[in-house]
Amino acid sequence: MRNLTEENLTDAVLGRLSDCGNPRIRQVTASLIRHLHAFIRDVEPTPQEWFAGIQFLTDTGKICDDKRQEYILFSDTIGVSMLVDAINNRKPIGATESSVLGPFYVEGAPERSSGADLAPGEGPGVLVSGMVTSTDGTPLPDAVLDIWQTAPNGLYHVQDSAAPEHHLCGKLHAGPDGRYSFRTLKPVSYPIPTDGPVGKFLEELGRHPYRPAHIHFIVSAPGFKPVITQLFTEGDEFIETDAVFGVKNSLVVNYLPDGEEWKMDFDFVLEPQH
Ligand SMILES: [Fe+2]
């Protein structure tokens, strides 16, 4: 076809996919073209607006390096990361729900037994405790909880050169009854990085960059599907407006006074691997 018009252009582009030998790439590309063309027809951008879009994507790529992933941040802030997470983690009722991994997970946190203190000498602390079970209620004594969170200054240890290595992190092994406990500090709410194109984008939209306070977990046990999740603090001022849309009701927890410190209980429920 050589008489390409506003009306027939989409079909012409889709037609060029017929020689693609990979059915999944063909399906994904066809969907992308259909949706992108529909978006352009909806918005009718001027050439200047089209170029502003190109410039945003260019700037987003330029700021990425081996430590910073601005495209993931973009995906997070428009709800795409949580949508992909939801599609890939359809849990049976009762199983602990998932949330995004986030950019601050570091493998290789020190192994710790249940009862460990992740913040010795710092306080006031929180005693976090609970149980890890299967969806049928069976305790899972071989469960491991990989834990990471912010310090009171709002930084993860990987962001803070002054923090001790693996500060407020650990790979905690549940006890023989499937119970676990550890002492840590209350997490705090923090802003996602705002010094790049995504920060400017949020500002343009009139959105704040904050995430409500949370502790990250990857909970696993042999024979069970691991869950990547976060526990959010009830009453946090950003609980309704998480910048990355990660909050679920079942993951919101209460911190209760416990003498001079705090306590928080949460039971994790894992789904058997099929
Ligand atoms: Fe986080």
* 36 and 146 share one domain: no
* pLDDT single digits (tens) 193-205: 999 999 999 999 9
How confident is the model over 237-261, as a mean pLDDT?
97
Residue 102's pLDDT band (boundaries 50, 70, 90)?
A: confident
Q: Mind telling me the catalytic residues?
A: 156, 190, 211, 214, 216
* 5 and 129 share one domain: no
Q: Is residue 154 part of a domain?
A: yes
Q: Is residue 114 part of a domain?
A: yes
* 184 and 264 share one domain: yes
* pLDDT single digits (tens) 232-245: 999 999 999 999 99
Distance 1 CA to ligand 1 centre (A): 51
Distance 218 CA to ligand 1 centre (A): 13
Q: Is residue 245 part of a domain?
A: yes
* 140 and 15 share one domain: no
Which residue did the predictor score with more confidence, 206 or 162? Answer: 206
Distance 209 CA to ligand 1 centre (A): 13
Residues that place a CB less than 5 A from ion ligand 1: 102
* 100 and 230 share one domain: yes
* 252 and 116 share one domain: yes
* 151 and 40 share one domain: no
Residue 2's pLDDT band (boundaries 50, 70, 90)?
A: confident
| CATH number for the domain that contains residue 194 | 2.60.130.10
* pLDDT single digits (tens) 134-179: 999 999 999 999 999 999 999 999 888 888 888 999 999 999 999 9
* 27 and 152 share one domain: no
Which residue did the predictor score with more confidence, 102 or 13? Answer: 13
Cα–Cα distance measured from residue 171 to residue 82, given in angstroms and rounded to the nearest whole number: 25
What pLDDT shows up at residue 165? 85
Which residue did the predictor score with more confidence, 133 or 69? Answer: 133
Distance 128 CA to ligand 1 centre (A): 17
Mean pLDDT, the chain, integer = 95
* 1 and 113 share one domain: no
* 88 and 40 share one domain: no
Q: Is residue 54 part of a domain?
A: no
Domain that holds residue 98: 83-270
* 146 and 263 share one domain: yes
Which residue did the predictor score with more confidence, 104 or 173? Answer: 173
* 159 and 255 share one domain: yes
265 to each of 2, 29, 158, how far by Cα in Å?
67, 46, 27
Distance 149 CA to ligand 1 centre (A): 6
- DSSP letters along the chain, please? -----TTTHHHHHHHGGGG---HHHHHHHHHHHHHHHHHHHHH---HHHHHHHHHHHHHHHHT--SS--HHHHHHHHTTHHHHHHHHH--PPTTSPPP----TT--S-PPEEETTEESSTT--SEEEEEEEEEETTS-B-TT-EEEEEE--TTS--GGG-TTSPTTTT-EEEEP-TTSEEEEEEE----EEPP-SSHHHHHHHHHT---EE--EEEEEEE-TTB--EEEEEEETT-TTTTS-TT----GGGEE--EEETTEEEEE--EEEPBP-
Cα–Cα distance measured from residue 109 to residue 168, given in angstroms and rounded to the nearest whole number: 10
Q: Residues of the chain with pLDDT > 90: what percent?
A: 90
Number of structural domains found in the chain: 2
